[in-house]
């Protein structure tokens, strides 16, 4: 087939999904694979959430709904944004989407056009630049460093802004680095955004996964001026272990939400109706399940981090949020794709090459997996690096 749209030649398939699928196939073939690929909590979705969706099914919540989402869920999200993030949104400011990824895709489709620039700090989650490209915009990648905990500085942001800049993508806690911007860093970035009158999308999907005394400040809560320029993206996948449910949301200016609803109304329509009732239960019931999962992530982070620290020729920073370890492998002499290919073939350990996130010197490991795999996988990683 040589008649594909030109835009397709400008984007790559999702490496996170490709490697995860490959690891699953190898496991199904009977191989003893340790997979640290997709950022997918290994826990089952908490029972009360499943029960709410089952009840919704029994009550016949099986029909088309409003394209922007069930009003009950949009209200529950508005309540959550007020309670957790001190953000004042009405249900009309919220659209429910097929997961966080779809939120961001719809946003780019509604907002970005030919000639628009979108500033993305690297390392970045791999789908951000691809979505910008699909929408016809241009990603302006700003490289951050391990010394700076992979965080963009206000100065760097300022320098990247041009007359064409429309949007800045902020992701804290970050996938793939686990960095978290402190409240004062968020305030300083907010000032630059206000001064230059650009928009910011704050991807807060990992906001509940924070370690030690780290806090999360939602940038829109800093003041009225930044609130007007902020778009919040979030979802249920990571905090409630609901990856396969595909429920996410965006909150922002009412005209933007209307535009996104138009895009959604001509593409997917509403998110699976009964799944939305599970999401309401997730927000409105006890948050104990979130805390329990965090206890496990905290233990896993400790074990994986200290194992990696004991391996020569690699280095990493202690993540303050999310569930990823971003490891510098440059001293091994291999680039990230070759490293990951060899590691998978020789030791059956699946990890994601940093090149997918804009840093070819690194690899990303997800520790949202069981402790047995972590211990076994770290021994194999150590053996592999020694063999090089
Ligand atoms: N967001 C997760 C990750 O980075 C899931 C896979 C994906 O959607 O890219 O691994």
- Which H or E run contains 64? none
- Residue 154 C-alpha to ligand 1 middle, in angstroms? 27
Determine which residue's CA is closest to atom 1 belonging to ligand 1.
39
Q: What's residue 264's pLDDT?
A: 97
360: three-class secondary structure by DSSP: coil
Identify whether the C-beta of residue 337 lies closer than 8 Å to the C-beta of residue 294.
no
Ligand 1 neighbour 191 (Cβ under 6 A): no
Q: Which atom of ligand 1 is nearest to the CA of 243?
A: 5
Token pair of 354 as six digits:
């940093």
Digits of tens for pLDDT over the chain (388 positions)?
779 999 999 999 999 999 999 999 999 999 999 999 999 999 999 999 999 999 999 999 999 999 999 999 999 999 999 999 999 999 999 999 999 999 999 999 999 999 999 999 999 999 999 999 999 999 999 999 999 999 999 999 999 999 999 999 999 999 999 999 999 999 999 999 999 999 999 999 999 999 999 999 999 999 999 999 999 999 999 999 999 999 999 999 999 999 999 999 999 999 999 999 999 999 999 999 999 999 999 999 999 999 999 999 999 999 999 999 999 999 999 999 999 999 999 999 999 999 999 999 999 999 999 999 999 999 999 999 999 9
Q: Where are the domains of the chain?
A: 6-45+288-387, 63-284
**Shared fold status for 6-45+288-387 and 63-284:** no
Render 86-107 in DSSP notation, one character per residue.
-----GGGEEEESSHHHHHHHH
User: What pLDDT does 219 receive?
Assistant: 98
CA-closest residue to ligand 1 atom 2: 39
**120 contacts 139 by C-beta, under 8 angstroms:** yes
> Going by C-beta distance under 8 Å and a sequence separation of 6 or more, which residues neighbour residue 163?
none
Instruction: Confirm if 303 and 375 have CB atoms less than 8 A apart.
Output: yes
Which top CATH class is 63-284?
alpha beta
Interatomic CA distance for residues 169 and 185, integer angstroms = 15
pLDDT confidence of residue 94: 98
Q: Would the pTM of this model clear 0.95, i.e. be above it? A: yes
Ligand 1 centroid to Cα of residue 118, in Å, is: 21
Residue 129 bridge partners (DSSP): none
Distance CA 82, CA 154 (A): 27
Does the domain made of 6-45+288-387 have the CATH classification 3.90.1150.10? yes
Q: Whose CA is nearest to atom 9 of ligand 1?
A: 16
At 239, is the secondary structure helix, strand, or coil? coil
pLDDT at position 2 is: 78
The pLDDT of residue 73: 98
CA torsion through residues 303, 305, 308, 309, sign? negative
């Amino acid at each position: 087939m040589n008649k594909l749209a030109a835009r397709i030649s400008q984007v790559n398939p999702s490496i996170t999904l490709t490697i995860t699928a490959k690891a699953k196939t190898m496991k199904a073939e009977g191989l003893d694979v340790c997979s640290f690929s997709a950022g997918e909590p290994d826990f089952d979705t908490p029972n009360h959430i499943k029960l709410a969706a089952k009840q919704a099914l029994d009550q016949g919540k099986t029909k088309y709904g409003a394209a922007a989402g069930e009003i009950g869920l949009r209200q529950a999200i508005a309540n959550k944004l007020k309670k957790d993030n001190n953000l004042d949104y009405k249900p009309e400011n919220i659209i429910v989407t097929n997961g966080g990824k779809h939120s961001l895709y719809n946003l780019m489709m509604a907002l970005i056009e030919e000639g628009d620039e979108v500033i993305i700090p690297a390392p970045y989650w791999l789908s951000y630049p691809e979505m910008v490209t699909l929408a016809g915009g241009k990603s302006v990648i700003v490289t951050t460093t391990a010394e700076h905990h992979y965080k963009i500085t206000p100065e760097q942001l300022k320098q990247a802004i041009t007359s064409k800049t429309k949007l800045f993508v902020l992701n804290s806690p970050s996938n793939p680095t686990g960095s978290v911007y402190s409240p004062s860093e968020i305030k300083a970035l907010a000032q630059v955004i206000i001064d230059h009158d650009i928009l910011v999308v704050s991807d807060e999907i990992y906001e509940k996964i924070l370690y030690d005394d780290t806090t999360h400040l939602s940038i829109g809560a800093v003041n009225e001026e930044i609130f007007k320029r902020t778009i919040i993206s979030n979802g249920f996948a990571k905090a409630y272990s609901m990856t396969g449910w595909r429920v996410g949301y965006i909150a922002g200016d009412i005209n933007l939400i209307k535009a996104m609803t138009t895009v959604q109304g001509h593409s997917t329509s509403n998110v699976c109706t009964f799944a939305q009732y599970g999401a309401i239960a997730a927000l409105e019931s006890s948050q104990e399940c979130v805390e329990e999962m965090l206890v496990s992530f905290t233990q896993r982070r400790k074990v994986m981090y200290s194992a990696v620290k004991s391996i020569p020729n690699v280095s990493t920073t202690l993540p303050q949020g999310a569930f990823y370890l971003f490891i510098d492998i440059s001293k091994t002499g291999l680039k990230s794709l070759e490293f990951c290919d060899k590691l998978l073939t020789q030791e059956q350990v699946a990890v994601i090459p940093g090149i997918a996130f804009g840093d070819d010197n690194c690899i990303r490991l997800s520790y949202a997996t069981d402790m047995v795999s972590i211990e076994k996988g770290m021994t194999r990683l150590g053996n592999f690096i020694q063999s090089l």
